[in-house]
A and B are shown apart, each in its own frame.
Chain A
Amino acid sequence: MNGRTAEGGRQKADHPAPSAISIQPSAVWDALASVPDPEIPVVSITDMGMVRDVTVGDAGRVTVTFTPTFSGCPALHVIRESIEQAVRDLGVADVEVRSTLTPPWTTDWIGDDARERLRQYGIAPPAPTGEGQLIQLDAEPTRCPRCGSLNVRMTASFGPTLCKRMYVCDSCREPFEGFKSV
């Protein structure tokens, strides 16, 4: 965050027309890696696997393609604006943010590192989605993020946000949130 602000300031001072500078897609990816998920700030939108593609056109236009996690997620507008702002902060004037549904986002897109940070934050990371059995009447096993026990009970199948449900651990007695395996 600090680095980006300093960078933006330097560009403003030294380069009056920053949009003319050709930017590398990797720099855009780096900037997007520090855009937090609005509802779970411990992970970024790239950690979550929401950013699908970054392209830089000949005229310097940056196009970012992202995919929504849940179709009814109220944070989608915030995420879209955050992506645009993060790219503009790199000195890019022409930014386009597109959304795609294909392939559909699943929790399998969440990286291992982000899963560990979710766990440390107190949210049980999602189990593998188990392709091929989308419609089943029973839920997947979940592990307590605190003590690692599988001796847990779901106390509510929906939680404070669309992506989570509520549990209590019968081993360490701690209530916790678990990421749905979608």
Chain B
Amino acid sequence: MTTTPTTLTDTQTQALLLKLTVLADDEIILAHRNGEWTGHAPILEEDIALANIAQDELGHAGLYLSLAQTLGGSDPDQVAFWRGPDDYRNTRLVELPKGDWAFTMVRQFLYDTAEALWLEAATRSTYAPLAEIAAKAVREEKFHVQHTALWVERLALGTPESERRTQAALTELWPHAAQLFQPTQGEDELTAEGILPDLNAVHARWTDLVTRHLVDKCGLTLPDAPTTQPGRDAHTEHLAPLLEEMQSVARQHPDAEVW
């Protein structure tokens, strides 16, 4: 932590705060969706795997929000538990209900590959605190990618039923996945400074990686490239009930100090 936040301009700081919040929001919401499988996954091992993945995602959200706090952001718990759906900036990809097992695994694969490639690029950030976080998180992400890649393959090449469900999940999720590559406000300037990875380059690498796996290896069909997408401030009706459940304990016990 030798590089101090003071090396950023005010505009850069605000843009980075937003980007860190956006990254954390995706992690928090998807972690909650994964947590919904606890006690309900097809087998015990997968129950445990998804809980592990969710735990890693919350760990990454904690890293992003702790860095945001040093840039003037609020306490991480405050950010997670005291903002409503209008203030969350997660993608619709992660807030959609967990669906069936194929839906959960395809979503996780699309998300994990995007996150892993973004983090790998972010290890070269010129902003040392972000590069440090990326170097930490990318090592953990490797296991998510391996796990979900295998599951998607197993489902796509399994029975006609599992193939049908996997293709249906991909068809529904594909347009939403593109939202992961929408730049946030001020992101272009941070990219020009080398503080953030070039999102277009990450997108190209991601498209190549997932196409090779989903199409070449698993025999699935990619839907057409999506046209324009609404921004991260436009949510589905599914986010509000998710937050209500996720935040209920914190809001009932605002003075709790030990969890």
- Are the C-beta atoms of B149 and A157 separated by less than 8 Å? no
A182 to B117, CA, bound (A): 17
A interface, over-half SS: loop
| Cβ proximity bits B51-91 to A, threshold 8 Å, 1 near / 0 not | 01101111110110000000000000000000000000000
A103 to B48, CA, bound (A): 29
- Are the C-beta atoms of A74 and B55 separated by less than 8 Å? yes
- Which of A47-55, A85-93, A115-123, A136-144 contacts its partner? A136-144
Within 8 A of B (CB), among A73-121: 73-74, 100-106
| Cβ proximity bits A117-131 to B, threshold 8 Å, 1 near / 0 not | 000000000000100
What size tier do the contact residues of chain B reach?
20 to 34
B interface, over-half SS: helix
- Are the C-beta atoms of A158 and B147 separated by less than 8 Å? yes
A72 to chain B, nearest CB (A): 3
A116 to B120, CA, bound (A): 32
- Are the C-beta atoms of B135 and A138 separated by less than 8 Å? no
- Are the C-beta atoms of A134 and B120 separated by less than 8 Å? yes
Residue in B45, B58, B60, B140 whose beta carbon sits within 8 Å of that of A166 in the complex: B45
Within 8 A of A (CB), among B137-190: 137-140, 142-143, 145-147, 149-150
| Cβ proximity bits A152-182 to B, threshold 8 Å, 1 near / 0 not | 0001111110100110000000000000101
What size tier do the contact residues of chain A reach?
20 to 34
A108 to B63, CA, bound (A): 22
Given A101-B132, A101-B133, A158-B45, the answer on whether A72 and B139 have CB atoms closer than 8 Å is: no
Given A134-B120, A135-B116, the answer on whether A157 and B143 have CB atoms closer than 8 Å is: yes
- Are the C-beta atoms of A71 and B136 separated by less than 8 Å? yes
- Are the C-beta atoms of B146 and A73 separated by less than 8 Å? no
- Indicate whether B240 reaches chain A with its CB closer than 8 angstroms: no
- Are the C-beta atoms of B136 and A104 separated by less than 8 Å? yes
Counting chain A CB atoms within 10 Å of each CB, the highest count among B49, B52, B60, B133 belongs to B52
A136 to B147, CA, bound (A): 11
- Are the C-beta atoms of B146 and A138 separated by less than 8 Å? yes
Interface residues of A (CB under 8 A from B): 68, 70-74, 100-106, 129, 134-139, 155-160, 162, 165-166, 180, 182
Other A-B contacts than A101-B132, A102-B135, 5 sampled, CB-CB below 8 A, are A129-B139, A158-B45, A159-B52, A160-B48, A165-B143
